[in-house]
Amino acid sequence: MVNITKRFPGVLANDHIFFELKKGEVHALLGENGAGKTTLMNILYGLYEPDEGEIYVGDKMAQIKSPEDALELGIGMVHQHFMLILPFTVAENIALGLARSLKDVSKEVANLSERYGLKIDPQARISQLSMGERQRVEIIKALYRGGNVLILDEPTSVLTPQETKELFKVLRSMANEGRSVILITHKLREVMEVSDRVTVLRRGRVVATKETVHVNEKELAKMMVGREVRFELARHKTKSDSKILEVEKISALGDDGLAALKDVSFCIFEGEILGVAGISGNGQRELAEVIMGLRKVMAGRILINSKDMTNRSPREVINEGVGYIPENIMMALIPDLSVAENAIFGKQFIAPFITTSFLLIGKNLFLNYEQIDKYAKELVSVYDIKTTSIEVPVSYLSGGNMKRLILARELSRKPKLLIAAYPTSGLDISATEYVRQKLVEQREKGTAILLTSEDLDEILSLSDRIMIMHAGDIMGIIPTEKANVEDIGLMMSGIRRA
Amino acid sequence: MELGGLDLSFILNKPLLKELISVILAVLSSVMVGGVIFSVSGADPLLAYSALITGALIGKHQIAETIVKTTPLLFASLGVALAFKSGLWNVGAEGQIVIGSLVAAWLGFSIMGLPTIIHILLTMIFSFLGGAMWALIPGILKAKANINEVLTTLMMNYIAYWISVYVIYWPLDDPLSYNPQTPHVLPSAMLPTLIPGTRAHAGILLAIVGAILLIIMKKSIFGYEIKVVGANPAAAKSAGINVPKIILTTMVISGGLAALGGMTEVIGRDLCLKLDATLGYGYLAVAIALVGNLNPIGVIFSSLFFGALVNGADVAYRVTRIPAVVAQAVAGLTMLFVLMKGPMLRFILKLLTWLKIGSRSGLS
C-alpha cells in the first residue's frame, strides 16, 4: 500500500501511509484508538476508497472497490464485531452467498479446522457458540474464501488468555504455510508475542516499521504515544475494615429472561478497588445494574453502608452516595443537552443544584442554574475537559472528553461507592492513564470501587482484589498479590474455581 | 451569486440561529410550493396570497379573527409540544380538545347562580381535568405496558369525536335550535371580550399564561427530567428518574392544555358547542408544535402564523374561489418541510458554497 491518504470530515485518518506485507509473515499494526489502523485495513478490504494512493498485490496495481474485489485477490478480514447470522449453523454461515453445496462446505470446513487446529463443529448453530468459537468461524470463513492475506481487527478483545494463546498458535501455523496475517491491535504484549514485524501508526501516519525482535514494549509504547508512558501507578495501602458494599447471594435475570446472576456474594471495603475480571457478557453489566437499582433482584440482599438497598430506586441509590460510570456512555450523557446540563445528569435532585421558586414556597422544585453553571465550569477546568463552552451540546465533545465529563461528575460528588464499568474502553493511552490515575486517587480518598474491565492488565495494576466472573457466577476472589494470569484465565472460561 | 467571501458554515455551530433559519426556510419553501398549488388550481398565487394576508392581518376585525383562530391552536400546540419534548408522540390533541369543549359546554349552561370568576375558573379546571383524563389513558398504557402512544391517542380521537356527536344530538341537544348544537352557556361562564365589537376574547391571554408557565417549568427539575426522558428513556432511568411518573404527568398536562383550547371555543367564541366546531385543530397543532421547534415561545409565533393562515384562507377563498382547504394543504406542506429542515439547510449551505467556488473559478 503506497501513499494511502483518506480524509473524513474534519479528520485526516490516513496521511500518506506506506504499508508492506510479506508472504508468510504475521504483521502487527499497532496504534491507539483513532490512529487510523482500522481505516487503513478497511481500505485494503475495499470498504473505503482511498482519496490518494495505490495498492499493489504482487507486482500488479490492484483496484479494490468492494470486499468482493478484495476476496478475489485473496484478502479476507475478520471484523471486531462478528458478521454471523445467529440462528444459522457454522456451515450455513460459511456457505452464505456462495454457489456451493452445504455438504461440500461442511467437508472443507472440517478439513480447514483440522489443518489449523481451529476446533469447530460445522453443524453447530452460531448462537450456541462462545465468542472465541465464533471468531474461529470468522477465520475459517475468511480462509475458505481463499484468504492468502488475513486481516484481524482487535481479535483478542473477546478472548480469555488461553483462547488468545490458541489463536496465536493458529496464526503462526498459517504464516508457516505461507499465508500472511495482519493483526490490528493496541496491546503491546500481543505484538511482542506473535508478530514478525510491526508497523506503528500515530495520528494517521506511520511512525516506523520494525522487526519485532529488534524492539521492546517500552520503545513501542513511546512510538505509539509519542512520549514516555508510565505503566506503574504509585499506590499506598488504604484498605480499611469497614464494608461499604455487601452483596449477599443475589440472583437476577438478564434481558433475555434467563438467569444472568447466580447466587453472587462479595463485599468491597472502604478505600478498596475490587476488579471484576471476565469476558464481557458474563454478568458484569447486570451486576452493576442490580447495585444501581436498574435491574430487579430476584433473591438475596444488597447492603450499602450497612443499609439494605435491595431493589431500591436508582434515585435512592444515588442519594446513598453511589457514583456510576456505565459501560455505554450514552447511558450517562444526553448528547443534545448542554455540557452544564449533563454535569448534573443523575444529580438533578441534589443540593446545591436545586432551589425553591416564588410559586411554591418551601419546596425544592426548581434548578439553580447559577450553581449548575458554576459547578460545570469547575468540572471543565479541574478535569481539563476540552469544550468551547459549557453551553454547547455534549455531542460537540470528543469521545474522550465525554468520558472525562462523566468521570468528573461522578467523582466530584465524593462518592462512597463507585461502579466503574469499562472506564477506559475506547480511550487513547494518555486518557487511559488519566482515568486510572483518578481512580487510584479516589481509592485513596476512601471510595470503594467496583471496577469492570476487559483489559486484564488494567485489573491487575489497579485492583486490591480480583473477582472472576463466568456465566453469572463468581469463580473466585483473589488478592492481586497472589493472582496469576493463567489461573484467572482458567476461571474466566469457567474451567476452574479458586 | 456574490457572497463577499462569507463563510456560512458557522450557522451550523449556532443552535438557535440554525433552528431559526431552517424554520424560516421551511416556511418559505412551503409558501412557494403552495403558490404552485394555487396556480394549478387556476388562481393567481400573488393575488391569492395578498388576499390571504389582507384577510388575516389588515384591519381590526381581521386581526381579531386571527386571534380567535390562534387561541385554541396555541393551547393545543403547547400541549403537543410538551408531550413531543418528552418523547411522547401524543397525536391525540384532537380528541382532548373535543373532551374539553364537551365539559365546558355542559358546565357552561348547567350550573346556575355562580359569580363569573368562579364559574369560569370551575369550567377551566374541569375542562383541563377532562382532557387530562382523556390523555391519561394512553399515558397509562404507555407507562405500564409500553403500548405505542401514537396508535392509542389516535384511536382516542375517534372515540371522543363520536361521543361528541352523540352528546350534541341527544342528551345536550339545544331544543330551541335547528342546528346540531348544545344550549348556550350562561353569561357567567363567558370569557370577557378582548377587543370591543369583535369576537376576540380573553382566551388568548389564558393561552399566553399557559405558555409562560411552560417556560417557567423548563427551569424546574421536572422540566429537566422531561428533556432527559425525551432524549433517552433508558438513560433517564440511570439518572434516577421515575420514567413512568414523567410519562403520566406529561400526558396529563399535555391533554389538559389541549382541552383548554376546546373550552375557549365554547365559552369564548361560539358560546355553545356546535357540531365539528374544532375539527382538525388537533392535527394542525402537531404541525404548529413542530414548526415552533417544541419551544413555548416558538409555538406562540407558529400558532399566530397558522391562525393567520387559517383565517386568511377564508378571505382568499372569497376573492379567488380557491377552497380554504388549500390553506390546510399549505399547513401540511409546512410540516413536511419542517421535518426536512436539517438536511435542507445543509443542502442549501453546500449549494451556496459550491456557487461561491464556481463564481471564483469563473473569474480566474
Bridge partners for A211 per DSSP: A197
Rounded Cα distance, A180 and A44, in Å: 14
pLDDT score of B325 more than 80: no
The arrangement of strands across the sheet holding A465-470 comes to A322-325, A417-421, A448-452, A273-277, A465-470, A473-479
* Cα of A238 vs its chain's centroid, Å: 28
Distance CA B248, CA B132 (A): 10
| B334 CB-side CA count, 13 A | 27
Tell me: the pLDDT tens digits for B3-39? 444 566 676 667 678 888 888 888 888 888 888 888 8
pLDDT of residue A54: 86
DSSP per residue, B53-65: HHHHHSSHHHHHH
Question: What one-character DSSP code corresponds to residue B192?
Answer: P
Of B221, B227, B232, the CB nearest to A365: B221
Interface test with A, best of B238, B293, B349 (most A CBs within 10 A): B238
* Cell digits of residue A312: 431500591
Please compute the mean of the pLDDT values over residues A435-454 and round it to a whole number: 91
Q: Is the pLDDT of residue A288 over 90?
A: yes
Interface test with A, best of B9, B19, B217, B224 (most A CBs within 10 A): B224
Q: Kindly indicate the confidence band of residue A239, based on its pLDDT and cuts at 50, 70 and 90.
A: low
Among residues 201-230 of chain B, which lie with CB inside 8 Å of chain A? Answer: 216, 219-225, 227-228
Q: Is the pLDDT of residue B115 over 90?
A: yes
Percent of chain B scored above 70 by pLDDT? Answer: 93
Rounded Cα distance, B351 and A381, in Å: 40
Mean pLDDT of chain A: 86
pLDDT per residue as tens digits for the range A367-424:
989 999 999 999 999 988 888 889 988 988 877 788 889 999 999 988 999 999 988 8
pLDDT for A224: 82
**Going by DSSP bridges, is the β-strand pair A299-304/A366-367 parallel, antiparallel, or unpaired?**
unpaired
| Residue A230 one-letter amino acid | R
pLDDT at B2 over 60: no
Instruction: Please tell me the distance from the alpha carbon of residue A464 to that of residue A478, in angstroms, as a whole number.
Output: 9
The pTM for the full model equals 0.78
- Using CB atoms, pick whichever of A333, A337, A366 lies closest to residue B220: A366
Note whether A229 and A434 are within 8 A (CB): no
Q: Is the CB of A332 less than 8 angstroms away from the CB of B216?
A: no
Interacting residues of B30 by C-beta distance below 8 A, sequence separation 6+:
B330, B333, B334, B336, B337
Q: What is the ipTM of this complex?
A: 0.81
In which band, very low, low, confident or very high, does the pLDDT at B164 lie, cut at 50, 70 and 90? Answer: very high
The residues in B 241-260 lying below 8 A from A, measured between CB atoms, are: 241-242
Q: Does B362 touch chain A (CB under 8 A)?
A: no
pLDDT, position B91 = 96
- Could you read off the pLDDT of A357-367 as tens digits, one per residue? 666 666 778 89
| Structure confidence at residue B131 as a pLDDT band (50, 70, 90) | very high
Residue B362's pLDDT is what?
43
Q: Which residue has the cell 467496583?
A: A450
Across the range A23-39, mean pLDDT stands at 85
Residues comprising chain B, all counted: 364
Between strands A149-153 and A52-57, the pairing is unpaired
Angle at A468 between CA A462 and CA A471, to 5 degrees: 140
Q: Do B219 and A337 count as a contact with CB atoms less than 8 A apart? A: no
Which three cell numbers, joined as nine digits, stand for A126?
452460531
Interface of A with B in 360-419 (CB under 8 A): 364-367, 369, 393
Confidence category of residue A108, pLDDT binned at 50, 70, 90:
confident
* pLDDT digit string, tens, across residues A309-342: 999 999 999 999 999 999 888 899 998 899 999 9
Q: What is the pLDDT of residue B1?
A: 39
State the best of B221, B227, B242 to mutate against chain A, taking most chain A CBs within 10 Å: B221
Q: To which residue does cell 454535569 refer?
A: A343
pLDDT-derived band at A31 (thresholds 50, 70, 90) equals confident
Beta bridge partners of A449: A273, A418
CA distance A49 to B25: 35
- Please check the confidence at residue A352 and state whether its pLDDT lies above 50: yes
- What is the C-alpha to C-alpha distance for residues B147 and B153, in angstroms, rounded to an integer? 11
Is B258 or A131 the better-scoring residue by pLDDT? B258
Q: For position A313, what pLDDT does the model report?
A: 94
Task: Find the helix or strand (DSSP H, E) in which B115 lies.
Answer: none
